[in-house]
Amino acid sequence: MLATLPPRERQIVDILYEQGPSVVGEILDALGHEVSGSAVRAMLKRLEDKGFVARKPSESGFVYAPSLPEATARKSALGQVVKVFFNGSPVGAVSALLGMQDGLENDELDELERLIAEARKGKAK
């Protein structure tokens, strides 16, 4: 999904997820004015045509927001990371995360255990 976007378009969508709905000027600020306002508008139009961004009129111009729920975007991005860095193995990705256990608090490890138990219950149905 999002992984298919060119890097700059993906960067704009990431900014919208991070900042929330934004006007072109706010997107330009986040990009550090590396591109022109007209280039950002053109990319936003392409993103809108592709279904990644929606716009609404406001007093200060159009306000742009991602049209995919953030959870869907997160799952897509994580799927791409698992595919590229862990040979498509979710177990490999989780193992890598658990290898960072020194940074995990006990309540976070408890939450992981709860999620694993929940996943097992879902499989049993």
Domain residue limits, the chain: 2-66, 86-124
Give residue 103's pLDDT: 75
Per-residue three-class SS string for the chain: CHHHCCHHHHHHHHHHHHHCCECHHHHHHHHCCCCCHHHHHHHHHHHHHHCCEEEEEECCEEEEEECCCHHHHHHHHHHHHHHHHCCCCHHHHHHHHHCCHHHCCHHHHHHHHHHHHHHHHHHHC
Per-residue pLDDT, averaged over 55-62, amounts to 92
**Does the pLDDT of residue 1 top 70, yes or no?**
no
Of the pLDDT bands very low, low, confident and very high (cuts 50, 70, 90), residue 33 is confident
The answer to pTM > 0.85 is no
**Does the pLDDT of residue 41 top 70, yes or no?**
yes
Architecture of domain 2-66: Orthogonal Bundle (1.10)
Buried/exposed 61-83: b ≥16 CB within 10 Å, e otherwise? ebbbebbbeeeebeeebebeebe
